[in-house]
A and B are shown apart, each in its own frame.
Chain A
Amino acid sequence: MRRIDVLSLYTNDMSFYGDMGNVLIVSKRLSFYGFEPVVHFYNPGDSFPDHVDMILGGGGQDSGQKNIFDDLQMRGKMLRQLSTQGVPMLMICGMYQLFGKYFLTNSGKKIPGISVFDVYTEATSDRLIGNLVEESELFGRLAGFENHSGQTYFSSPLTPLGKVTSGGGNNSKDGVDGVIVNNTIGTYLHGPVLSKNPKLADFLICKAQLERYGEEQLPPSPVLRRIDELAAKGNEVASRRPR
């Protein structure tokens, strides 16, 4: 069976808003497509696996972000290289911010990120909390939930993940959420995001397969028909819930 190595980045500190669900969803979908998923849980101080086909990171509390800071700085260069090579990555909320250039705190302190994305984040006192719905050119309507006080801005022209139709997104001004650079995606969507947006999950899986086995087309999976019907209904409901 063809193996795909998935790394869950900073599981203990950065999976506070249900984002571990993305790891479950990716590994289940991989099995349904006939792959052998191998999940590596990576925490500060752990050795990094020799081979990684996909990296998933989530949101955490401020305290969690502090815990991982040093380790992330140490791994920054390698993660930038993997992103440039095209390794698919999905970074939610806190990890999205840390994949940017820096985070400007309320007291004016700049906390450096690892600059995978040319974006920066500013602390604010109004937290963007609520259902978030957006239209994405690649993935159609994306629905989830955002919960963040940091607001993120692009430093140069970049491709957002989607145009916000309801909610905040990157910040309360620009009307967009997230970013895509190479095959690395940042977003504020929890939910977990892959639950009601399976096309996004399949994008990550396609790219992982392409990187490792040189093929992009996924085999058909009858089991996924039922699951994706539920996901579509869930997406429909979520997109109509009040903010």
Chain B
Amino acid sequence: MKNTSSPLSVAVGKGVQGACKILKRGHSLPGMIVEKMDAGFLSSALRQLPLGTMIVCGTNGKTTTARLIAQALSSLGLKTVTNDSGANFTRGIISSLLPLMTPSGKLPCDIGVFELDEAWAPIFCRQFPPDYALILNCCRDQLDRYGERDAVEAMLSQVASFAKRGLILNAADRRVKGFSSRFPEAKTSFYGFDLSLSPLFPGDEDLICMRHGCVSPVQSDLASVVLRAITGNTATFEIEGQKLSLEMGIKGSFNFLNAAAAICGILNIARTCPALKNSVRFKDLDLGPKAVAEAVSKVRPAFGRGEGFKIGQSHVEMVLVKNPVGFSSALRSIPLEGKEVMVALNDQSADGRDVSWIYDVDYSNLSTIKAVSGQRAFDMALCLEYNGKKVVRADLDIEESLMHFLEGGGDKIIFSSYTSMLSIRKILLDLDKSKGGNLYAAD
């Protein structure tokens, strides 16, 4: 077995990457070209990683969870490669490998952690069965792309079946908890939350049933990592029976559950990875529950996911929302008192072309919405009005709407779908510079 990748493919990939940087073109293009010319490139590169590869999959929280794991592993002393740009197709992963590879085709890293799009994950797994798979959840999402949630469930279940050494599952998701690996030696670990926290983590069924009370919380007594309690920004985890309270670097209780997933994932690696035990290089690493949980707690939010900006006298928070469960959890878990609220909704394919889902969100924690914008501003405003909320202003022009929203000081929060988030984020970054303020991660 060759232990390098083709130097030619690396050279072409790096060349295209250089050109893209100059031309400010897409991140995925170099990966796409290398994938076309060298079908075995992905596996030839990932095969070199001594601790293996973990993929993170599911409808909500992939980017944040992959980031929590990758950054925690780095701070614990492992050289980690990850697709932190959010490019989560196989070509995006190749693009993230290229800058780290040597001209001779070596990938000098210890471990890879990649978030994968639900539809691309099975394709990835067939090319390169991962050592570890972490499946977060299976909620209704992008139905205009997948047709049905059952189709997404089938894809995720297939991904789980490919996990060679370890499978990490959400015990509180009624669909995900039943998945299994086809490899009998793979160790399955579960994470979950305390039942007292279940109002914070509604599933699709709960959102539909809420109005006539048929909610039956899913038990997570299988879980080795349990999110037990939340007080402000402090999360209490029970990890293999041991309780630990930590001040978290990320915000929102749904992210604390992602942290439980990350802790569970890293501990699974620590328990099952043969290279960790056999190699001298890794023998001094502390991958015990406490060290792992602390490393996870220190990670900062990912791009557009609970990021904070300082604009003049205002602190502006940005939260990505793209499906009923994600939006409802965000509204239930982020404190909204004293904050002015803006909602932006686009309908590009990355947002979901069908906006019907907004009617399945639980808006009970909102009262007044100062601005509603995006291509489907009127759909959103109408939905909020029917839910008994007051919408001060609704218009299609995101920039104009945002400027109006930013008038006056105080704390502000923006809930936005994906492509509107990109536009808003760009404006906020520009504004921040022009006013001489500082961009900082939410604290």
Residues of chain A whose beta carbon lies under 8 Å from any beta carbon of chain B: 11-12, 15-21, 24-25, 28, 39, 41, 61-63, 127, 129-131, 144-145, 147, 149, 190-192, 195-196, 226-227, 230-231, 233-234, 237-238, 241
B381 (CB) vs chain A CBs: closest residue: A230
The interface residues of chain A lying within 8 Å CB-to-CB of B394 are 230
Q: A11-B208, A24-B386, A230-B394 are in contact. Are A190 and B148 (CB under 8 A)?
A: no
B212 touches A18 (CB 8 A): no
A-B complex: 3 closest residue pairs judged by Cβ atoms: A18-B356, A21-B359, A234-B378
The interface residues of chain B lying within 8 Å CB-to-CB of A233 are 378
Total contacting residues, chain B, CB less than 8 A: 34
Interface flags, B372-403, vs A, CB<8A=1, else 0: 00011011011101110000001010000000
Within 8 Å of chain A (Cβ to Cβ): is B354? yes
Within 8 Å of chain A (Cβ to Cβ): is B247? no
Partner of A11, one of B212, B356, B359: B212
The interface residues of chain B lying within 8 Å CB-to-CB of A19 are 356
A74 to nearest B CB, angstroms?
A: 21
The interface residues of chain B lying within 8 Å CB-to-CB of A195 are 359, 379, 382-383, 386
The interface residues of chain B lying within 8 Å CB-to-CB of A28 are 386
The interface residues of chain A lying within 8 Å CB-to-CB of B360 are 15, 18, 20-21
A21 touches B149 (CB 8 A): no
The interface residues of chain A lying within 8 Å CB-to-CB of B375 are 237, 241
Name the residue in B357, B359, B387 with the highest tally of chain A Cβ atoms < 10 Å from its Cβ: B359
Residues of chain B whose beta carbon lies under 8 Å from any beta carbon of chain A: 140, 143-144, 147-150, 205, 208-209, 211-212, 214, 347, 353-360, 375-376, 378-379, 381-383, 385-387, 394, 396
The interface residues of chain B lying within 8 Å CB-to-CB of A25 are 386
Partner of A241, one of B208, B347, B357: B347
A17 touches B356 (CB 8 A): yes
Partner of B214, one of A12, A39, A149: A12
A36 to nearest B CB, angstroms?
A: 17
A230 to B147, CA, bound (A): 28
The interface residues of chain A lying within 8 Å CB-to-CB of B358 are 18
A147 touches B143 (CB 8 A): yes
A13 (CB) vs chain B CBs: closest residue: B208
B205 touches A12 (CB 8 A): yes
Give me 22 A-to-B residue pairs in the complex whose CB atoms sit less than 8 angstroms apart, sorted by A's number: A11-B212, A12-B205, A12-B208, A16-B148, A16-B149, A19-B356, A21-B383, A28-B386, A41-B212, A129-B353, A130-B144, A144-B356, A145-B353, A147-B354, A195-B379, A227-B382, A230-B381, A237-B375, A237-B376, A238-B376, A238-B379, A241-B375
A130 (CB) vs chain B CBs: closest residue: B353
A18 touches B357 (CB 8 A): yes
B211 (CB) vs chain A CBs: closest residue: A41
Q: A41-B211, A127-B147, A147-B143 are in contact. Are A231 and B356 (CB under 8 A)?
A: no
A130 to B356, CA, bound (A): 12
A145 touches B212 (CB 8 A): no
Name the residue in A144, A196, A231 with the highest tally of chain B Cβ atoms < 10 Å from its Cβ: A231
A235 (CB) vs chain B CBs: closest residue: B378
B359 (CB) vs chain A CBs: closest residue: A21
B145 (CB) vs chain A CBs: closest residue: A129
The interface residues of chain B lying within 8 Å CB-to-CB of A196 are 379, 382
The interface residues of chain A lying within 8 Å CB-to-CB of B381 are 230
A236 (CB) vs chain B CBs: closest residue: B378
Q: A195-B382, A227-B382 are in contact. Are A145 and B147 (CB under 8 A)?
A: no
The interface residues of chain A lying within 8 Å CB-to-CB of B212 are 11, 41
**Assuming A12-B205, A241-B375, what are 20 further A-B pairs, CB within 8 angstroms?**
A15-B208, A16-B143, A16-B148, A18-B356, A20-B360, A21-B359, A21-B360, A21-B386, A62-B148, A127-B147, A129-B144, A130-B353, A131-B353, A147-B147, A190-B354, A230-B378, A230-B394, A234-B382, A237-B396, A238-B376
